Structure 1
Amino acid sequence: MNIIISNSSDIPIYQQLKNQIKEAILSGEIRDGELLPSIRNLANETRVSVLTTRRAYDELEAEGFIKTVHGKGSFAASGNLELLKEARLKQVEEKLIEAYNIGRAIGVSKEDMRTMMDILFEENGR
């Protein structure tokens, strides 16, 4: 797992950790049941505090992305992966509605919106 922390980002460090671990689980880079680095190891690897790492892990556990077993560590818990993906799909839909409404308010055509999406996909290799 390769986590990159940006100190110049407006996104809090714990949120950057959480987002990247969540994405790794959703993409399958981290498989169901796979042992994650300990809080201390991840803190050392990313050069952030143990408290920051703990907060990221706590939030991931609260959202169902990881499960912590006392004395054994934290494991990816993608057993409810379909629910997690469905939640992400809902976020995509909400963002698309927001983009549609903004575009519509300034007169962006349907074709221009499609062209913008095509460009985004091309730029990101998908």
Structure 2
Amino acid sequence: MAKQVSSRAEICCMPLAAEPIGVDQAGEVAIAFKALSDPVRVRLLSLIASHPGGEAYVNNLIAAFDLTGPTISHHLRVLREAGLIGCQRRGTWVYYWVVPTMLERLSEVLSIPAGSRATD
């Protein structure tokens, strides 16, 4: 079974400072940032990204938190639906990985183009 990337990973945006993004793109970016608005999900994303081999199976993730399995599964689902992570079942285990193109796109949205006026 090959890794499948959510259609949300198709977000393609100019930096906010370059030009206003469209309504559809703004909605997709907001979903991703909303998924990252919870500290548990930010930590999950970090644990997955920093795991050896770039993949972590669900039991490794659950063990890192003082939360129930269903609660961790909920947070993983939110990250998956936002296109930030992918997953694949292998036997009885579910493995998760970060979708790098999605993180790159979010980074692009927040970048300031060279020569732009930045103010504090």
TM-score by length of 1: 0.43
The structure having more radius of gyration, on CA atoms, is 1
Structure that is richer in strand per residue: 2
TM-score by length of 2: 0.45
Structure that is richer in helix per residue: 1
